[in-house]
Structure 1
Amino acid sequence: MPTQSFDDMFDEAMQDPEMAELINGYMAQMTVGIQLANARDEVGMSMDALSQQSGVAKSTIINIEHGEASPTIFTLTRLAAAMGKTFQTAFV
C-alpha cells in the first residue's frame, strides 16, 4: 500500500465539510493565539501584567495563546485595550 503525503491527507480531509469546519476553527484559534502572543511581545508585557491590566485570568491568556481557547470578542477587546491596542475582526 503506497504512503500518502500529509498534503494529500489534508486535502482529502478538507473535502469533508464537517472536517473542514473543524480544521478551519482550530486554525482560527491558533491564529488568534499567535496574534495575541505577538502583540504582547511587541509591547513588552508579561502574561502576569496583561492579566492584571485586563482583568482576564492568566490561565485564560495561556489557553488563548496556545490555541486551546475560543475567546469572546469582549475578552479580546479587553486584552487589546490593556496593551494600548484595538481589536479588529475581518471577514476575508
Structure 2
Amino acid sequence: MPQNSQQEKFAVIPGMTMIRANKSYSGSHSGMQYKFRLADDELEAVVWPWPWCLEKTDPEGVVSARFALTEEGMRQAEDWVCRQYWQDHRRWDKIRQAPMW
C-alpha cells in the first residue's frame, strides 16, 4: 500500500467482530474523516472533509466505495481510505489548517 515511508497506513478497522457488533467504525487523519460501516451485507468505506459530521456534509464532498464483508475486504477498505488521503494529501492538510469559524 504505502509507496514510501511517508505514506503510512493510518486507517485500521479493529476487527470483523467489532464491525458486525457496532455496525460502524470512524476516525480521522489530518483534514479527512472516514467511516467504515455495514451496508447491504457489504463493508462501505466513506471519506469526507473536516470539520462537520457525515450527515451535515455536502454530499458532493463525500466519497465512498464498497467491499466484500470479509477479512480481505476489510484490508482493501483500509487501503482505499489511506489512498484517498495520500492521493490528495495537500488538500486534506489545507482543510485541517483552516480556521473552523
Give the TM-score taking structure 2 as reference length. 0.25
Give the TM-score taking structure 1 as reference length. 0.26
- Counting strand residues as a fraction of each chain, which structure ranks higher? 2
- Counting helix residues as a fraction of each chain, which structure ranks higher? 1
